[in-house]
Each structure stands twice: as C-alpha cells, then as structure tokens.
Amino acid sequence: MSYPNQHNPYGQPPGQQPGYGYPQHQPPPPQPSPYGPYPGGGPMPGMQPQYPMVMPGGVKAARIMLFVLAGLNLVGLVLAVMGLGGVSKASHDASSYAGSDDLMAMNIGKGLLIAAIVLIVIFTATALTLAAQFANGGGGVRVGSIIFGVATIMVSLFTFPFGLVHTVLGILVLVFVAKDEGNAWFSRPRY
C-alpha cells in the first residue's frame, strides 16, 4: 500500500509545475456606466480627455493659411481697383475718338474687373470669418473651411500662373482641416 508524500501533504502533486492547475481568467473589458457621464460635465478626474483641449498644429496652420489667403486677396483687391480705375480713365479718354467696338471691349473689361472685385471681396470676407471662428467654431466652420478650400482651388486654377500660391494654400487648408485631428477639434464639446 502506498501512502501520500509525507513531506508536503497539502502542496502540489509531484510532477506538476506551479500555475498549471486551473485556467487563468482575463478581466472583463470596462463597460460604460449605466448612470451617464461624470456630473462635473467633463471627463472624470484622472482620465484622459477624448477631445483635444488645445488647437492641434495642423488646425493652427490652416487658420494661419486662411489669414494669408485673406492678405493676398487684399493685395489682389488693390490691384483690381487700380486696374478698374485705369480702364475707366482710358475708356473716358477714348470715348471721343474710339470706335464702338473699342468702347464695347473696354466696357466688357470694366465688367470683368468689377466681377473680379466682388469675388475677391467675398473670398476675403469668408477667409477672415472662418479663420476668426477656428477657436470656438463647430462642425459648420470645418465644413465651411473645406468648401472654401475647394472653391479657392477651383477659382485659382482659372488664373493658374498667378493663382499658384492660392492653389497650394487652398489644398493645404483642405487637407489640414479634413484630417482626423481637425475633426476632433471641431467636434469637441463646448461648455
């Protein structure tokens, strides 16, 4: 008859390694609270916030580019107004000796310059408004910036050699605002 090991009557049976007796359980994943968020309005103390608290670098760069685009538009506005003044003076001086075709061409030129001035004013005001709203704006500012970037690209392609800077800046504004960090910044909760 054989008796159990007398040295350790309650220990591991001989031949087994420690830790191999029962299967190990993984802790369950954390579940959301059925009682809602923390009553302070923000994240619970000690937790990382889900949204950025400071404007990300790409969003700051897009904001600066909008201000640069507005500045370039103001330079273009001054040049367009000066061109309109020159064409108006030339058409006034030439009205006495020029033919009707020349006068019609000058009037078309004045009309195109006036349309360009209106377009420049609209783009400048939009760029300044969007850039000013980056700090506290929501999803509408992001969508507006994306639409502004696309519109800037489209208009600048018509004036390609002169509008190359506008094309590049429009693409960069579009990319920086459409990235995930831009989405996180513009969709953050505002208190």
- Tens of pLDDT, residue by residue over 69-113, are 999 999 999 999 998 888 888 777 776 666 677 777 778 888 888
Looking at the 3D structure of the chain, how many domains does it have?
1
Q: Are the C-beta atoms of residues 182 and 56 closer than 8 Å to each other?
A: yes
Helix ranges, the chain (H): 57-94, 100-132, 139-158, 160-178, 180-186
Residue 176 within any structural domain of the chain: yes
Q: Are the C-beta atoms of residues 68 and 75 closer than 8 Å to each other?
A: no
Residue 135 within any structural domain of the chain: yes
Please tell me the predicted confidence (pLDDT) of residue 102. Answer: 72
Residue 31 within any structural domain of the chain: no
Residue 122 within any structural domain of the chain: yes
Residue 3 within any structural domain of the chain: no
Give the structural domain span for 132: 57-186
pTM above 0.75, yes or no: no
CA 94 → CA 54, 84, 108, 111, 136, distances in Å?
60, 15, 15, 17, 54
Please tell me the predicted confidence (pLDDT) of residue 136. Answer: 84
Looking at the predicted structure, is the pLDDT value of residue 45 above 90? no
Using CA atoms, how far apart are residues 167 and 175, in angstroms rounded to an integer?
12
Please tell me the predicted confidence (pLDDT) of residue 169. Answer: 93
pLDDT band with cut points at 50, 70 and 90 for residue 57 = confident
Pull the structure tokens for residue 7: 């040295």
Residue 117 within any structural domain of the chain: yes
Looking at the predicted structure, is the pLDDT value of residue 188 above 70? yes
Please tell me the predicted confidence (pLDDT) of residue 182. Answer: 86
Residue 123 within any structural domain of the chain: yes
Q: What is the pLDDT of residues 146-180, one digit of tens each?
A: 999 999 999 998 888 888 999 999 999 999 999 88
Looking at the predicted structure, is the pLDDT value of residue 66 above 60? yes
Residue 86 within any structural domain of the chain: yes
Please tell me the predicted confidence (pLDDT) of residue 30. Answer: 66
In this prediction, residues 121-133 reach a mean pLDDT of: 94
150, with CB counted inside 10 A (0-12, 13-18, 19+), is middle
Please tell me the predicted confidence (pLDDT) of residue 170. Answer: 93
Closest CA to 65 of 139, 12, 134, 16: 134
